[in-house]
């Protein structure tokens, strides 16, 4: 491969291993007053019921307020907008996934070679997306926020870290965006539901892409 590319400096660049980040705002943490915490849980329960019964498209701020028997303003004050509400619903699975690849058992977690970890990471994320695809699509942020969402920045930083270990002469930060594109829920929806590709083909394609990028 040619000489190493200059480093790409962007807002998502981190030094060392990425830290576990939360999707929700700090005010959504367990330090909330008891009544505020109950109110938040009640709203999330209502939103989850709407998704289970009618799909993610049924989750509007008005519908959640009606299902939880609160005013619409309460929902907006707690979550900001519909994307914030849906993001809060994804928070639990996001925390579990982050914990798995940052500190869980190998090959997804530490202890395996970086190429094996990259393969395991992509396969695990593809399977997670398949399980909650409608919710992920509904929570997909707009173009002005898509690359600044804390959870996405953690995923990108983790891929970049493994790329630096597996292929030191690559522009890891920039190449990580390319790999993240393969794992985008919108693309997964297109390939699996609109094109009818089996999930196993996407997983095999990810492993092939990792091997080609890293020379593994």
pLDDT of the chain, 216 residues: tens digit per residue = 444 444 444 444 443 444 444 444 444 444 557 777 788 888 988 888 888 788 888 889 999 999 999 899 999 999 999 888 888 888 878 988 999 999 999 999 999 999 999 999 999 999 999 988 988 888 888 888 889 888 899 999 999 999 999 999 999 999 999 999 999 999 999 999 999 999 999 999 999 999 999 997
Q: Torsions phi, psi of 9, nearest 5? A: -105, 115
**pLDDT at residue 1 in the model:** 44
82-214 is a CATH 1.10.357.10 domain: yes
CATH T-level topology, domain 28-80? Arc Repressor Mutant, subunit A (1.10.10)
Do 28-80 and 82-214 come out as alike in CATH topology?
Answer: no
**Owner of token pair 């990471």:** 121
> Mean pLDDT of all residues in the chain?
85
**Domain ranges within the chain, ordered by starting residue:** 28-80, 82-214
**pLDDT at residue 7 in the model:** 47
Q: Are 175 and 10 in contact (CB under 8 A)?
A: no
Q: Could you give the 3-state DSSP secondary structure of residue 206?
A: helix
* H/E stretch holding 125: helix 114-131
């Amino acid at each position: 491969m040619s000489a190493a590319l200059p480093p790409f400096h962007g807002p998502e660049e981190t030094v060392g291993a990425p830290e576990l980040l939360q999707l929700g705002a700090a005010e959504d943490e367990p330090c909330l007053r008891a009544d505020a915490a109950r109110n938040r849980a009640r709203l999330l329960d209502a939103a989850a019921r709407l998704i289970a019964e009618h799909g993610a498209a049924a989750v509007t701020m008005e519908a959640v307020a009606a299902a939880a028997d609160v005013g619409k303003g309460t929902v907006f004050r707690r979550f900001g907008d519909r994307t914030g509400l849906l993001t809060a619903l994804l928070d639990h699975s996001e925390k579990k996934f982050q914990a798995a690849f940052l500190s869980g058992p190998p090959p997804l977690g530490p202890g395996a070679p970086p190429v094996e970890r990259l393969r395991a990471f992509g396969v695990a994320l593809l399977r997670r997306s398949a399980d909650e695809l409608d919710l992920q699509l509904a929570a997909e942020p707009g173009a002005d926020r898509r690359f600044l969402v804390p959870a996405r920045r953690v995923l990108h930083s983790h891929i970049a870290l493994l790329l630096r270990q597996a292929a030191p002469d690559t522009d890891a930060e920039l190449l990580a965006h390319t790999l993240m594109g393969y794992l985008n829920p919108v693309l997964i929806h297109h390939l699996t539901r609109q094109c009818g590709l089996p999930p196993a083909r996407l997983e095999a394609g990810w492993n092939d892409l990792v091997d080609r990028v890293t020379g593994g």
